[in-house]
Amino acid sequence: QVQVVESGGGVVQPGGSLTLSCEVSGYIFSDHGMHWVRQAPGKGLQWVAFIHRDGTTSNYADSVRGRFFISRDNSKNKLFLQLNSLRLDDTAVYYCVPNMDNWGQGALVTVFS
């Protein structure tokens, strides 16, 4: 059974930085592309970023490009999202979604002044 566990969420001031981590088990991590998706309070799902299974290719939503950076460590079955220059509207639950299949419980990021 696939398990997805996000961590690293928290409260940060505007302009600050945070790094989210995601650990996946029960899954051949290196075989699959990985996504980050976020959901602002009371809002819909927003795709944030993708990274290819070998880490060579990534892509970002326009709203985060240049501020967020996705990476992975296949030796540790881990995915990361570095969030920089955070804004109030980045407040959301961030989900790590392997192959856009399985979802964890998410990590809450609150940008608060």
Partner 1 sequence: SYDLTQPSSVSVSPGQTARITCSGDLLSSKYVRWFQQKPGQSPTLILYNDNERPSWIPERFSGSSSGTTVTLTISGAQVEDEADYYCYSAADNTLGIFGGGTKLTVL
| Residue with Cβ nearer partner 1 (62 or 113) | 62
Counting residues that bind partner 1 (by CB under 8 A) gives 22
* Residues written for the chain: 113
| Residue with Cβ nearer partner 1 (44 or 66) | 44
Using the rule CB under 8 A, which residue among 59, 76, 87, 89 binds partner 1?
59
CB of 30 to partner 1, least distance (A): 17
3-state SS record for the chain: CCEEEEECCEEECCCCCEEEEEEEECCCHHHCCEEEEEECCCCCEEEEEEECCCCCCEEECCCCECCEEEEEECCCCEEEEEECCCCHHHCEEEEEEECCCCCCCCEEEEECC
CB of 57 to partner 1, least distance (A): 6
Buried b (16+ CB within 10 A) or exposed e, 76-90: ebbbbbebeebeeeb
Which residues 89-108 are close enough to bind partner 1 by CB under 8 A?
95, 100-106
x/- letters, 7..46, toward partner 1 (CB under 8 A): --------------------------x-x-x------xxx
**Which residues of the chain form contacts with partner 1 (CB under 8 A)?**
33, 35, 37, 44-47, 50, 52, 57-59, 61-62, 95, 100-106
